[in-house]
């Protein structure tokens, strides 16, 4: 009985740690080039045109990470 409870406890810890790691890896971090592209496109008001053509970063990433091009 004690062995099965211990195994169950260890499995629950393993599952919880896997979920925590997945949450951390889904957060996007922009490179300096992508940040500069977001800032430039936002300043020039070309978020819907030029930013999409260049393909360095998505408009949604700029909005979500920097609050630009929203």
pLDDT digits (tens, 9 = 90+) for 16-51: 776 544 444 445 688 899 999 999 999 998 888 888
How many domains would you assign to the chain? 1
pLDDT of amino acid 9: 75
pTM of the model: 0.57
Q: Which three-class secondary structure string do you get for the chain?
A: CHHHHHHHHHHHHHHHHHHHHHHHHCCCCCCHHHHHHHHHHHHHCCCCCHHHHHCCCCHHHHHHHHCCCC
Q: In terms of residue numbers, what domain contains 45?
A: 2-66
Beta carbons of 69 and 42 less than 8 angstroms apart: yes
């Amino acid at each position: 009985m004690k062995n099965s409870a211990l195994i169950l406890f260890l499995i629950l810890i393993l599952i919880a740690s896997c979920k925590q790691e997945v949450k951390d890896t889904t957060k996007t971090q922009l490179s300096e080039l992508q940040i500069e592209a977001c800032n430039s496109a936002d300043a020039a008001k070309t978020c819907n045109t030029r930013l999409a053509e260049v393909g360095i970063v998505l408009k949604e990433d700029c909005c979500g990470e920097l609050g630009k091009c929203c």
